[in-house]
């Protein structure tokens, strides 16, 4: 893999993922301790996590044309229900789910009678003799609810306690003897600790972000505005093979002058980004749905000056302290206290003004339970080995003083392992 300075789209070329990259054992444990017999996922990220299926041409607020059903008693027989037009997708991205059940969906006209052979137009000739495809053809249903209810009954979940990541789906199914439970937390518990395949995906996403940030720096010229910078970042990320969301990939707002207000970007900013400005790169996007996040301070066409030198040194020291302390068992409030004490030792004017916060990272920037299996709020959460937990450090100030770093950190027995290659020091020059 090329360095971030020389990376090209070829370095981030996408290819089929492993058949199974989810933390299935951890999900089954979460189901057991919560007294769940099964779980049904219909949210896009959860479906992708469990199966590798990433359906194109689907927006987040549309009804979900797919569902994954897993029984705790027979976890090696998951069932996926999917719109007929998505069936061939699994030829490009294989999955460990061998029981894929298509149903007649929106592309098939209601003015024509439903026929079992309707599915044939969605099966390529070269795939019709595959065993799993033949099974899918036999299980073709004319309506999604029928297919899901049939799967629940076959897995003996129609009389059990079943969690749904969208409880409304469970209620609308109308399975009389089934208890519908909330599936958000057990799935987030599973997603919080990454498998080796996921760690590779997150490392790749971070490398892409680093390369896009460096390309954005190189694009700057006198007279450039914040809008120019946002466009340059989005273009660099997409050119490398990633995706950013409307209204943009750069998260922080940047008040001008001596204003130390902490604010987020609106996408409407268009002031000039002059030499010496402290740009706080906190950039979001995805590749293969896995998130990149973070960045650090860039002093445009210059170096930190005056008090900013002290703030930079302090932020570097705090970052190094936290990497050593981010071990399994560490609690977030404890890490925040140690980081703030490190700021005080570094001699900043007011350590209490510093922002120090953490979150999970994977398919979303918040892969954590809201409540534990015991029902307790999980705000002050505990690090576990295999988590990816970005650390955010912001010492507020004006446009020539503020210092920021967000490092993406893999939690290991001996402390945190950073995924960015550049260290905590500010980026300088161009």
Segments of the chain assigned to CATH 3.40.350.10: 24-191
For residue 403, pLDDT beyond 90: yes
Read off the pLDDT of each residue in 227-249 and give the average, rounded to a whole number. Answer: 96
Among 359, 341, 337, residue whose Cα is nearest residue 407: 359
Structure tokens at 40: 């049904």
> Rounded to 5 degrees, what are φ and ψ at 13?
-60, 135
pLDDT score of 60: 74
- Mean pLDDT, the chain, rounded, equals 96
Gap between the Cα atoms of 321 and 342, Å rounded: 7
For residue 1, pLDDT beyond 70: no
Read off the pLDDT of each residue in 50-68 and give the average, rounded to a whole number. Answer: 91
Tell me the CATH class for 195-429: alpha beta
pLDDT score of 62: 84
Distances in Å between the alpha carbon of 198 and those of 42, 62, 90, 269, 388? 21, 27, 20, 35, 10
pLDDT score of 4: 80
Among the ranges given (51-60, 178-187, 301-310, 411-420), the one the predictor scored with the smallest mean pLDDT: 51-60
For residue 2, pLDDT beyond 80: no
pLDDT score of 286: 98
Can you give the pTM of this predicted structure?
Answer: 0.96
> Rounded to 5 degrees, what are φ and ψ at 411?
-85, 125
pLDDT score of 58: 80
For residue 150, pLDDT beyond 70: yes
Q: pLDDT tens across 167-196, in order? A: 999 999 999 999 999 999 999 999 999 999
Read off the pLDDT of each residue in 255-280 and give the average, rounded to a whole number. Answer: 96
Read off the pLDDT of each residue in 400-411 and give the average, rounded to a whole number. Answer: 98
Q: How many CB atoms sit inside 10 A of residue 347's CB?
A: 10
Segments of the chain assigned to CATH 3.90.230.10: 195-429
For residue 105, pLDDT beyond 80: yes
In this structure, which topology does domain 24-191 adopt according to CATH?
A: Creatine Amidinohydrolase; Chain A, domain 1 (3.40.350)
Among 415, 407, 405, 409, residue whose Cα is nearest residue 324: 415
Q: pLDDT tens across 8-30, in order? A: 999 999 999 999 999 999 999 99
Read off the pLDDT of each residue in 63-89 and give the average, rounded to a whole number. Answer: 97
Q: Give the rounded percent of residues in the chain with a pLDDT score beyond 70.
A: 100
Read off the pLDDT of each residue in 270-282 and give the average, rounded to a whole number. Answer: 97
Gap between the Cα atoms of 77 and 135, Å rounded: 14
pLDDT score of 61: 81
């Amino acid at each position: 893999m090329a360095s971030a300075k020389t990376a090209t789209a070829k370095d981030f070329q996408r290819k089929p993922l492993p058949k199974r990259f989810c933390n299935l054992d951890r999900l089954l444990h979460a189901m057991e301790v919560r007294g769940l017999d099964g779980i049904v996922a219909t949210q896009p990220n959860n479906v992708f996590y469990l199966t590798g299926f990433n359906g194109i041409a689907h927006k987040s607020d549309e009804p979900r044309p797919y569902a994954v059903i897993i029984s705790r008693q027979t976890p090696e027989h998951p069932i996926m229900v999917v719109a007929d037009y998505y069936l061939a997708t699994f030829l490009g991205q294989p999955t460990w789910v061998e029981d894929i059940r298509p149903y007649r969906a929106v592309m098939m006209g209601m003015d024509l009678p439903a026929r079992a052979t309707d599915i044939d137009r969605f099966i390529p000739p070269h795939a019709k003799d595959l065993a799993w495809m033949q099974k899918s053809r036999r299980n073709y249903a004319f309506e999604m609810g029928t297919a899901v209810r049939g799967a629940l009954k076959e897995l003996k979940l129609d009389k059990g306690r079943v969690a749904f990541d969208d409880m409304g789906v469970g209620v609308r199914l109308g399975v009389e003897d089934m208890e519908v439970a909330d599936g958000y937390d057990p799935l987030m518990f599973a997603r919080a600790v990454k498998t080796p395949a996921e760690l590779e995906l997150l490392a790749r996403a971070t490398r892409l972000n680093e390369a896009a940030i460096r390309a954005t720096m190189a694009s700057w010229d006198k007279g450039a505005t914040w809008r120019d910078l946002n466009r340059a970042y989005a273009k660099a990320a997409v050119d490398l093979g990633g995706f950013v969301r409307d209204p943009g990939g750069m998260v922080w707002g940047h008040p001008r002058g001596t204003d130390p207000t902490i604010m987020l970007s609106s996408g409407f900013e268009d002031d000039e980004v002059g030499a010496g400005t402290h740009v706080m790169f906190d950039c979001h996007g995805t590749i293969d749905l896995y998130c990149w996040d973070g960045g650090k301070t860039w002093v445009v066409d210059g170096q930190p000056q005056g008090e900013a030198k002290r703030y930079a040194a302090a932020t570097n020291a705090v970052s190094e302290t936290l990497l050593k302390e981010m071990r399994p068992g560490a609690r977030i409030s404890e890490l925040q206290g140690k980081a703030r004490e490190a700021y005080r030792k570094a001699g900043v004017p007011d350590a209490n003004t510093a922002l120090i916060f953490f979150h999970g990272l994977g398919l979303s920037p918040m892969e954590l339970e809201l409540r534990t299996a015991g029902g307790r709020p999980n705000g002050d959460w505990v690090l576990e080995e295999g988590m990816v937990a970005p650390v955010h450090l912001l010492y507020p100030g004006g446009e020539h003083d503020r210092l920021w770093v967000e490092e993406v950190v893999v939690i290991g027995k001996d402390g945190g392992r950073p995924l960015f290659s550049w260290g905590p020091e500010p980026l300088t020059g161009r």
